[in-house]
Amino acid sequence: MTTKYHFDVLIIGSGAAGLTHALHLADHAQVAILSKGQLEEGASLYAQGGISVVLDQADSLQSHIDDTLLAGAGLCDQEAVSYTVKHARESIEWLIEQGVSFTKDGITSETYHLTQEGGHSHRRIIHSADATGREVETTLLAKVKAHPNIHLFPHHIGIDLITSRKQLGQEENTCLGCYVLDIKNDTPRTFTAPITVLATGGAGKVYLYTSNPDVSTGDGIAMGWRAGCRVANMEFIQFHPTCLFHPKAKSFLISEALRGEGAKLILANGAPFMDQYHPQAELAPRDIVARAIDHEMKRLGDDCVYLDISHQPKDFITEHFPTIYQRCLTFGIDITKEPIPVVPAAHYTCGGLMTNLDGQTDISGLYAIGETAHTGLHGANRMASNSLLECLVFARSAAQKITQLLPQLNTELPMISPWDASRVKPAKEAISISHNWDELRRFMWDYVGIVRSNERLHKARQRLTLLQQEIDDYYSQHRISSDLLELRNLADVAELIITSALERKESRGLHYILDYPELSKMQAKDTILEKKY
């Protein structure tokens, strides 16, 4: 018998989006936050660069909007971009009210230090040294833990959303909650709520090399897709140009802010190369920088390129990039004296579950925020430091909408059947899960990576079809585990990426395909996938 819980709002995910959403709701509702690991673990924690916001008098909202639209390569939703940029300042002011400490221009200064990153025409990145995500996440988490109306469930992973279509056979699809695995007790739980919010982040772990932490397995996107949500633009996976290349440096990102402060990308012989690829050189949009590095590595047969900021004064480097300096030092790399070996890695999922400006998905009672959602802000390529901003703005707008709806909602939900594990048996061994996990991530990297082709995409789809059959067979016969649930979700996300990539017969933004190297006016639209029932 599964344990049942009931709340006004169920939030799945405890990153910047989920925590912000909970704090905006908690004075009006009983809120549950589920996290499949430690509460603070997630991509938000590791965000280094900062949050884009117009604070400098030389800057303007229109400039931020124009830069975002340009980076998005013709696919941004202009209303979503304008909405996000116009609500940026109030979001930053709210963070400061919560106690988030941003870097000032000097010890006695009242103004905040702003840096510049790729795609931005002005300095507009507010930051907390080079650990902005950690400062935001830990500050908000402390606030969340102190609020009596917020109930925390670490080590709980979603299995599947509970919907009226699947549970009650109704034609109208309403979300009623989620079946959840309590990982530590190896027990399924039933969480019901009139409002469920997916804030599970992206899906970087679908690739062999990623800057994302291990929890980034696309759970919310996969659960929403299986429940009946439309998904958009999953072909646009952003590869961060610069992750530390070292056998022991798992997933460590080298912030774009280094390039904003003058760091140069160079080859092993010390020669710079970015000016051959774009007028903005190191500050070109991320897709261009990642492809340039990928091309140079393949051209020369090198394992990496290098990022050099050693020409800056040592005090400047250690003050502005203390985390990166110390982490590199543990691997024997003194960034004040020598260049950093770097490679591109999967970093951000620009597509996701389609939502409106209030975070509402196609399913009544189901919302998606943060990297899980496709709001239209990023288009075909996310501009640097717009991601944490999106988390803040849309977490707030969704909370405002839900607060308006709460008095009208029927909290008496229909009787929900418990999770049925009566026809499955414990697995004798887990080798097939780990093998399939490795195979999936490797062929996604080889065939559906920075540069694609029709041949590679079709190979990936053939491999995935066989893999999904194995996963489905295993899932139907054996008791669930967190590894199995993540593998199932990654396979679903891989299918969405491959299908979307095959539908886009052009090269645009983050999707570069050798068979169609040019832009097509006919393809200047979102790739929208809808599940057939």
* Type of residue at 50: G
Q: How far apart are CA 195 and CA 177, in angstroms?
A: 7
In degrees, rounded to 5, the angle at the alpha carbon of residue 508 between the alpha carbons of residues 506 and 512 is 75
DSSP-assigned states of every residue in 98-149: HT--PPBSSTT--SBPEE--TT-SS--EE-STT-HHHHHHHHHHHHHHH-TT
Residue in 85, 4, 30, 180 with CA at minimum distance from that of residue 394 = 85
| H or E element that contains 79 | helix 78-86
Enter the tokens of residue 494: 């891989």
Residue 530 CA to its chain's centroid (Å): 21
| 423 is known as an active-site residue | no
Q: Helix axis angle, 482-503 relative to 219-227, nearest 10°?
A: 70
φ, ψ of residue 349 in degrees (nearest 5): -95, 105
CB within 8 Å of 404: residues ≥ 6 apart: none
Q: What angle do CA 418, 419, 423 make, to 5 degrees?
A: 125
Give the angle 498-242-437 at the CA atoms, nearest 5°: 40
Backbone angles phi, psi at 369, to 5 degrees: -140, 160
Task: Rounding to the nearest 10 degrees, give the CA dihedral for residues 260, 238, 321, 329.
Answer: -130
Torsion sign over Cα 383, 385, 386, 387: positive
Q: Which residues in 13-43 are b (16+ Cβ under 10 Å) and which e?
A: bbbbbbbbbbbbbbebbbbbbbbbbebbbbb
- Which sign does the torsion angle of CA 67, 72, 76, 81 carry? negative
Which of 189, 230, 259, 286 is catalytic? The answer is 286
**What residues are annotated to the active site?**
286
